[in-house]
Amino acid sequence: MKINKVVVIFSYLLFTALSVALLVPAQTGTKNAEIKAANGMVASAHPLASQAGIEVLKAGGNAVDAAVAAAFAVGVAEPNASGIGGEGMMVIYLAKTGTAVAVDYRSSSPASAMFPKGFPSTGPAAVAIPGTVAGLTLALEKYGTMKLGRVLAPSIKIAEEGFAVSSTLATIIRDNYEEILKNRPLAKIFCPEELPLETGDVLKNPDLAESLRKIAAGGRDAFYRGELADKIAAEMKEGGGFMTKDDLGAYRAVERRPVMGSYRGYDIISAPPPVGGIAVVETLQILENFELSKMEPLGPARIHVMAEAMKRGAADWRAFVGDPDFVVVPVAEMLAKAYAKARAAEIDPAKVTEKITAGKPGKEESPSTTSLSVIDKEGNMVALTQTISDFFGAKVVVAGTGIILNNEMKNFSASGVNALAAGKRMRTTVSPTIVIKDGKAFATLGTPGAARILTTMPILISNLIDYGLGIQEAIEMPRFFPSGKELSIEPRLPEGTVAALAKLGYAIKPLGKFDLFFGGAQGIVVEAKTGMRIGGADPRRDGAVVGY
């Protein structure tokens, strides 16, 4: 293993060096270099996933082809956070027609699921019907140009040949060591010989490679109706899970209209219910009522106003957002400018609002994770976020398949708009977002981070628009997360700002300088004058940008 470790580390470093050397760093002063490219670009949570996407672009594929290739690949190379046993949401912008569409491949509840004693977070009963294969194949068939086997080829290779475990992944494996050991197929992958893989060790998943080959040959039905479905259903039955082969066969990915709003002349296109894009757009439209550009970007005034707006957007999301096939979500009312103005008027610039309730957006008529962004030479864009919920999901691998299953059932609520129902999709905070300026591509962005997604996305967009920061600067700027009076921060904030926020009434909770708590954003912007694609990747995760 030591020889393999050296070889893989060398290969990883060589790939990274070449990726950066072939491009042009746009700036200094950031932890990661900002990358420029003239034609196409992929930003994802792992170098191998970004490389998979860029290979497809270079071969003549469009942004959707590349996004699907990268999405499958990141599920192999960042297996703690996503994969074909999970789910997601994709937002697509088509430059030629100026139209946008969302592909909802959120997981859904098995028909027989019941939890009288509460929702479990691990084990087969925690597993919802996976949507990733259905969603990615639907997007490829309708908006891509390549065959499924072509875009799956990089993922199969990564799973078969293996890759070097990063320090981030090694830490996550150690943190989940005891739970991993409880499931023998999971331990076989991440803790061979009952010891956790270390940084630089080679992680292979040949069973997953074979599963991906079956999908490449048979399409979505290979997963939802064929041999893989049989194995998943058998695993569920043996372990006390609810999902059956009938549940798998009945699952469908759904095309939806994205939520749309505007912020200081930019059009914001984000993921629709049952996920978090509506809260991101509402928060931005509340913030539009304040002149943030006149506030210091890391000053207490800006952070306080943003925190108050974020709490209101999140409160409305919790109150009104559920699966739109089961409940009526007042999208238009929540995104009305008059409603944003009313919510903004509630914010006291000199006081913390400890408890915020949902607003009244008119009559109710008419949420661990990975993100990636893609833009092609035609200006088509994709923002995509997918997940298996917690790291390593339900901590269950289907024997003989290499597939890690999600634990999404815990994301239902005991009552209200997000209450459990057969076939219903639980809400989450995922919020892949595209930004358009004057009808042209400006940015594609996304981040993991659970509840922090709803706060990180407005921070990123404000950093770009209000302060004109580069994408890498916008990603690396210190983050914060409000919850009642508590304010979690990265301690790179100025001491004076922290002291002033404490005087306003915040209970300050310092975390790490670049803390994984705040997710791992990826993004691409388009330079208006030159059309150059400029990409940024988050040092809080193993993000990488590749372009050509």
Residue 12 has pLDDT above 70, yes or no: no
Query: Which member of 369, 433, 447, 497 is catalytic?
Result: 369
So where are the chain's domains?
Answer: 1-33+41-276+321-329+364-479+515-548
Kindly give, in sequence order, each residue whose CB lies less than 8 Å from that of residue 526, ignoring residues fewer than 6 positions away.
Answer: 375, 379, 440, 441, 442, 443, 532, 533, 534
Nearest to 235 by CA among 372, 87, 400, 392: 400
Residue type at 421 in one-letter notation: A
Of the candidates 459, 453, 509, which has an alpha carbon nearest to the alpha carbon of residue 484? 509
Cβ–Cβ under 8 Å, residues 135 and 253: yes
How many degrees, rounded to 5, is the angle at CA 320 between CA 315 and CA 325? 145
Looking at the DSSP assignment, which residues form a beta bridge with residue 522?
446, 537
| Residue with more model confidence, 106 or 25 | 106
pLDDT the model gives residue 17: 37
CATH homologous superfamily of 1-33+41-276+321-329+364-479+515-548: Gamma-glutamyltranspeptidase, small (S) subunit (3.60.20.40)
What pLDDT does 354 receive? 86
Residue 361 preceded by cis peptide, ω within 30? no
pLDDT (tens digit per residue) in 124-160: 999 999 999 999 999 999 999 999 999 999 999 999 9
pLDDT, tens only, 347-373 = 999 999 988 888 877 543 333 688 999
State phi, psi for 522 to the nearest 5 degrees. -130, 145
Give the pLDDT band (50/70/90) at residue 18: very low
> Minimal CA–CA distance to 109: which of 348, 349, 411?
411
pLDDT recorded at residue 359: 83
pLDDT given at position 368: 65
pTM: 0.92
Strand 507-510 versus strand 486-489 pairing type: parallel
Q: What is the pLDDT of residues 55-73, one digit of tens each?
A: 999 999 999 999 999 999 9
Report d(CA 232, CA 264) in Å as an integer.
48
Confidence of residue 3 (pLDDT cuts 50, 70, 90): very low
Position 29 scores a pLDDT of 81
122 as an active site residue: the answer is no
Confidence band of 475 (pLDDT split at 50, 70, 90) = very high
pLDDT digits (tens, 9 = 90+) for 250-271: 999 999 999 999 999 999 999 9
- A 10 A CB-CB count for 134 gives 22
d(CA 432, CA 258): 10
Distance in angstroms (rounded) separating the CA atoms of residues 388 and 407: 6
Cα 302 to Cα 378: distance, rounded to the nearest angstrom: 36
The mean pLDDT value for 426-441 works out to 96
Contact 523, 474 (CB under 8 A): yes
Residue 2, pLDDT > 80, answer no
Token digits of residue 334: 């929540």
SS3 readout for 136-160: HHHHHHHHCCCCHHHHHHHHHHHHH
In sequence order, what DSSP letters do the residues of 298-356 get, joined into one string? Answer: TSHHHHHHHHHHHHHHHHHHHHH-S-TTTS---HHHHT-HHHHHHHHHT--TTS--S--
pLDDT beyond 90 at 111? yes
* 455 — pLDDT class (breaks 50, 70, 90): very high
Average pLDDT value over all residues in the chain = 93
Question: Mean pLDDT throughout 323-329?
Answer: 96
Q: What are phi and psi of 383, to 5 degrees?
A: -120, 130
Look-up: residue for tokens 């975390």? 511
* Closest C-alpha to 520, from 452, 448, 432, 454: 448
